[in-house]
Amino acid sequence: MYYKQLIKLFAFLFILSSNFVTAQDDLLKELDDEIKAEEAKQDDTSKNKEKSFELPAFKTLKIANLQSTKVAEKGDLYLVVSHRFGPLKDGLDTFLGLDQANTKIELLYSFFDGIQFSISRESFEKTVAFASKVRLARQSDSFPLNLSGYGTININTELNNRRFTNYRMIDEDRFSYALQLLASRRFSKNFSFQIAPTYVRENLQILEETGTANHNQFALGLGGRIKLSKRVSFNAEYTHNFNRDENSIFYNPYAFGVDIETGGHVFQLLFTNAQSTNEPGFISNADGDIVFGFNIVRVF
């Protein structure tokens, strides 16, 4: 019933205005369930057993910047806070970039099984984004991959800033888009890998920065996860943009870091060469300077 979903939303608003209360979903329980599932799979030797699914390739919704194949379960409400500091190269002048920051706050919910919706606001170019992810297939004893589709619409609300003073803007220039097919496989309990063919559309580009007008771009993302302990994993990713001009000031984005799971939270600590955490932003406009950042994922 949808009234239960409304109750969750009101509860979330109350939490934002006060201290955190006990989460409805505990990721530590998910860890215990994972161990039990592994044991059950080893004990199940029946030849006529029903189709069984592998455990998820990734424990949270993103590898670092790149989306993972994981989709929120029906009824789950997520709060995701992403933070990217300034360049490390600025040294003590900016306290290794800690004096600067780009912050994204995302609210995500799954109304239906296998599909999630989200809305977010990022301080980088004051971008508002709407996104959805759909589970297409799950890795099982009869299918080798997890498949998900992801799409996002980004709206730049800062077109009046200094970067665009030489351009005559129309409302359509504010929009950028990304579509991704996410395919992952959990090769073992400790190692997962993903590929992500990606299409990005930017309605507005600054030719002094991009070198040429590549409004339609194709890219391929690669990412992986190595489990280090029960609650810690090492994650890394790289995305190659096939349409980047050789005179572009931007770089292909990468990121690496660790996931730390605690009760109700996942902390992702990472280093990356991209300030934006939105797909059109980091795939098309990574400036190449290494920054420290983190994602905090809270499930209710």
Percentage of the chain surpassing pLDDT 90? 61
Structural domain includes residue 49: no
140-197 per-position pLDDT tens digit: 999 999 999 999 999 998 876 556 656 666 778 889 999 999 999 999 999 999 999 9
Q: Is the distance from CB of 146 to CB of 184 less than 8 angstroms?
A: yes
Percentage of the chain surpassing pLDDT 70? 80
Task: Please check the confidence at residue 6 and state whether its pLDDT lies above 70.
Answer: no
Structural domain includes residue 36: no
Structural domain includes residue 88: yes
The token pair that represents 186 in the structure block? 């959990």
pLDDT of residue 47: 44
Mean pLDDT score, 289-294: 94
228-285 per-position pLDDT tens digit: 998 999 999 999 999 999 999 999 999 999 999 887 788 999 999 999 999 999 999 9
Q: Could you give the number of structural domains in the chain?
A: 1
Mean pLDDT score, 79-100: 86
Q: In b/e form, how buried is each residue of 71-102, taking b as 16+ CB within 10 angstroms? A: bbeebbbbbbebbbbbbeebeeeeebbeeeeb
For residue 291, the 8-state DSSP code is E
Domain of residue 263, residue span: 2-18+54-299
Of the ranges 53-57, 102-106, 125-129, which one carries the lowest mean pLDDT score?
Answer: 53-57
From the CB of residue 120, how many other CB atoms can be counted at a distance below 10 Å? 20
Higher-pLDDT residue of 281 and 51 is: 281
Structural domain includes residue 47: no
Structural domain includes residue 44: no
Domain containing residue 132: CATH number: 2.40.160.40
DSSP one-letter string for 222-259: EEEEEE-SSSEEEEEEEEEETT--TT-S-B--EEEEEE
Structural domain includes residue 213: yes
Task: Please check the confidence at residue 23 and state whether its pLDDT lies above 50.
Answer: no
CA distance 168 to 164: 8
CA distance 138 to 183: 10
pLDDT of residue 50: 61
Of the ranges 11-25, 185-199, 278-292, which one carries the lowest mean pLDDT score?
Answer: 11-25
- CA 243 from centre of chain: 22
Higher-pLDDT residue of 279 and 51 is: 279
Structural domain includes residue 93: yes
Task: Please check the confidence at residue 31 and state whether its pLDDT lies above 80.
Answer: no
Higher-pLDDT residue of 58 and 98 is: 58
**pTM metric for this prediction:** 0.81
Q: Is the distance from CB of 146 to CB of 57 less than 8 angstroms?
A: yes
Task: Please check the confidence at residue 92 and state whether its pLDDT lies above 60.
Answer: yes
CA distance 44 to 39: 9
